[in-house]
Structure 1
Amino acid sequence: MKTIRRYFFLLPVLIGLAVIATSCDDNDSPEDPILRPLEQHIQGVWQEWKNYEVKDGKYIETPNPEGHMLEHDLRPGGEMIISYSFWYSTIYAGTWSVNEKEDLLIRDNFSFRIYRLTADEMEIGANIATDVETGETLHGEFRWILRRFDRLHDTYATRLLGKWKLLHRYEIKDKQWVETSLGADDEGWREFRDIGTSTYYERIGGKELRIDYDYWGARDYEGWENVFQSYEGIDGESYNDYSAFTLNPDGILTAYSLDFFDAGGEGVADVGRKDILVRE
């Protein structure tokens, strides 16, 4: 098992900050409708689109950095799935509710005033936000405009969602991949869930291993084209059995041990293991 790079240890903190950080328009005129009942019309996938902050008495747009994306899937019964992508991507669960009388959206116990809710857009506001890049807590007047979508957009994390079954395993020998025979009773799988947990399982040669992680995510693997790196952790400590992936258009997921890339990759590395998996 290989320990992930230390900078991933900050993820739970950064994720919490990023959920709050965003804003909106000053067009809160009476003709801007709020569809009711709120609980019915607010359900669905909402992507943060535009951010605004009051400066010198006027709402000024404050764009997020390029590549930043934050989405909330507000599901029936108060379940919320948050998909975040910037220099890494992650997906995890929260809760939501509304206060119909006060026109409030409550996400994980943080309240936003609803100024506008149509079939396609929602405008909300609050007096606290967080800088996406620095993590600094900001106080003032902020608005956010969100757009509705049919589903969460693709990120490295959303592309990994589901249960993946082990088909083949290979080990590097003399800088070449050599298949390791799997017995009739051998099995392995990985499962990535949208609530933010994941599981690694294998029973090979009579030896069983299961690891249940309480958070996970993915990011570009710098220096390697079309390869992305995963991170998984338990109680704030990061672990990885396989921490690099490629996902082919045909749906084949290849999971690599990180030492393969550390040793130079294809045709160069003299160590490494890879698994070939398909989504169940």
Structure 2
Amino acid sequence: MNMKETIRTMSTLLLMTVAMVIFACTFTACSDDEMNDNTDETLFLRPLTKNLFGIWKQTNNYMLQDGKWIEDPIPEMYVNDLVFCPGGIYYHNVRREDGKTYMFESTWSADETADTLKVNGEGIRLGGLTENEFIVLDTTATDHATGEVLKGEFKWVYTRVNQPTKTAYTQLLGRWQLQKRFQEQDGQWVEVTQDMPDYCAREYDMRGSCALYTLTGDKFETKRYSGCVGEIAKWGEPADILSQWDICSQARVEIRLCFEDENTVHIYHPDNYDSEAEKMVPGGHKDVFVRMK
């Protein structure tokens, strides 16, 4: 072998060696990245408490079958929103498959070591938390169709959203002022002013509570309700149902309401609805409330 061939052979070996080194380094780097993708710091944004603040909507359900996560579709009507607030306050926005909707308040805290949440005293195991998604793991679930409690491995995925899902109850959030009152006469709604208070307002909050404020002359009254449950209209009727617990009388009462638009709601008094026949009847009266800015 002459000098030129020796140099050519050494150059070829050197290039092959460099290529192998580059390949090995690249492979090693990829392996390191894959390992990093599985570290707690990647799967869980820290601190959990700060990164959970906000509104989350349940978007996917999965159940473990034969070692694989199989999607269990969420029913179309079902809504499950979680609202985590500073100070350990938590709100739950729910719409069940039967159309009933409600919100309630609870407490929450996060355990950074165990990667768990405690909501209203109940432990919840987390499977991950990123900027726009967090995962809840559990060994029991409820069948939406039958109500049966199922055993197994389940995973629920929540996605960050800007506001709670609109339901028959969330549309009522805020304060509403009585604007007009109508009496039905010969099939027509006729405005009446008799027995109208000087001021009347309803205020609904994220705890599922309602306060009714009334001022007549120099007499100011406040009536409070809790456990408000909204229900979308059935039987083709124009009005939704709102059921609420009268704290004073310790009785559950129902009212019928219909949204004219986002800022106007018609509330029908009991004499305008036949609960046994499950339909609206003539001769009743209704109040029109407008949203206060």
The whole-number CA distance in structure 2 between the counterparts of 1:142 and 1:247 is 38
Higher RCO structure, 1 or 2 (CA under 8 Å, sep 6+) = 1
Residue pair 1:182, 1:204 contacting (<8 A) in 2 also: no
Q: Secondary structure at the match of 1:159?
A: helix
- After TM superposition, give the deviation of residue 103 of structure 1 in Å: 0.6
Contact 2:59 2:74 in 1 (8 A): no
Say yes or no: does 1:164 pair with 2:172: no
1:132 and 1:122 mapped to 2: Cα distance? 22
Q: Does 1:95 align with 2:107?
A: yes
8 A contact 1:171–1:274 mirrored in 2: yes
CA–CA distance in structure 1, aligned partners of residues 236 and 217 of structure 2: 33
TM-score by length of 1: 0.78
How big is the shift at 1:247? 1.6
Partner of 2:27: none
Q: Secondary structure at the match of 1:169?
A: strand
Say if 2:209 and 2:227, in contact at 8 Å, map to a contact too.
yes
| Structure 1 residue 161, shift from structure 2 partner | 0.6
Greater helix content:
2
**Matches of 2:105 and 2:183, distance apart in 1:** 36
What percentage of aligned pairs have identical amino acids? 29
* Equivalent position of 2:140 in the other structure: 128
Q: Which residue of 1 aligns with 2:15?
A: none
Name 1:80's counterpart in structure 2: 90
Pick from 146, 153, 175 the counterpart of residue 141 of structure 1: 153
**Quick check: 269-278 or 182-191, which moved more?**
182-191
Task: Name which one, 1 or 2, has greater alpha-carbon Rg.
Answer: 2
1:53 aligned residue:
63
Q: 1:185 to 1:254 in 2, by over 3 A?
A: closer
If the length of structure 2 is used for normalisation, what is the TM-score? 0.75
Secondary structure of 1:135's counterpart equals coil
On the 8 A contact 2:171/2:262 being kept in 1, the answer is no
Identify the residue that residue 6 of structure 1 maps to in structure 2.
Answer: none
> Which whole-Å CA distance do the structure 1 matches of 2:133 and 2:62 have between them?
15
The SS at the match of 1:114 is strand
How far is 1:207 from its partner? 7.7
Task: Note the C-alpha offset of 1:155.
Answer: 1.2
Give distance in 2, aligned partners of 1:208 and 1:50.
Answer: 48
SS in 2 for 1:156: coil
Conservation of the 8 A alpha-carbon contact between 1:221 and 1:244: no
Cα–Cα, structure 1 residues 255 and 206, in superposed 2: closer, same or farther, change >3 Å? farther
- Whole-angstrom distance in 2 between the partners of 1:225 and 1:260: 12
Report if aligned partners of 1:189, 1:200 keep a CA contact under 8 Å in 2.
Answer: yes
Go from structure 1 to structure 2 and tell me whether the alpha carbon gap of 1:206 and 1:179 turns closer, same or farther (over 3 Å shift): farther
Shift of 1:179: 2.2
Q: How far did 1:226 drift?
A: 5.3
The superposition leaves residues 215-254 of structure 1 with CA deviations (integer Å, 9 ceiling, x where unpaired) of 10211121336532211124784213xx121222362211
Aligned residue identity for 2:108: W
Q: What's the Cα RMSD here?
A: 2.6
Distance 1:147 1:215 in 2: 27
1:113 is aligned, of 115, 122, 125, to: 125
Q: What is aligned with 1:12?
A: none
How many residues end up aligned between the 2 structures? 247
Q: What is the CA–CA distance in structure 2 between the aligned matches of 1:227 and 1:135, rounded to whole Å?
A: 28
Q: Distance in 1 between matches of 2:231 and 2:217?
A: 33
Query: Counterpart of 2:43 in 1: which secondary structure?
Result: coil
Deviations 1:10-51 (A, max 9, x none): xxxxxxxxxxxxxxxxxxx71652111111111111111111
> Shift of the alpha carbon at 1:206?
7.9
In the alignment, the residues of structure 2 paired with residue 134 and residue 207 of structure 1 have an alpha-carbon distance, to the nearest angstrom, of 50
- Identify which of 21, 26, 30 aligns with 2:38: 30
Structure-1 separation of matches of 2:116 and 2:110: 5
